Amino acid sequence: MDTGLRISRREFQENDVIIAHNIDYKSGRVSSIKVGVMAAPVDVGAYLFLSVDQPRTVQIISTVGEITR
């Protein structure tokens, strides 16, 4: 049985989403941003940063994606 995390990871991979895990998260938010930026391809056109402790709805994320295209 797949967990929600496995399903999400598979969906993300199918849609070219990169999951960057910051093992040094205790050093602060900036370290997480650095890990994400370093994981992205060099030709990336935009970044979307979301704080995990402030969940967003799918509608908000979709709207932000549409605006940046």
How many domains is the chain partitioned into structurally? Answer: 1
As a whole number of angstroms, the distance between CA 60 and CA 15 comes to 18
**What pTM, to 2 d.p., does this model score?**
0.56
Q: Which domain holds residue 40?
A: 4-68
- The SS3 call for residue 67 is helix
Cα dihedral sign for 4, 2, 36, 17?
A: negative
Q: What is the pLDDT along the chain (69 residues), one digit of tens a residue?
A: 455 556 566 777 777 777 788 899 899 989 989 998 999 999 988 777 777 666 677 787 778 777 766
Closest among 21, 1, 25 to 12, alpha carbons compared:
21
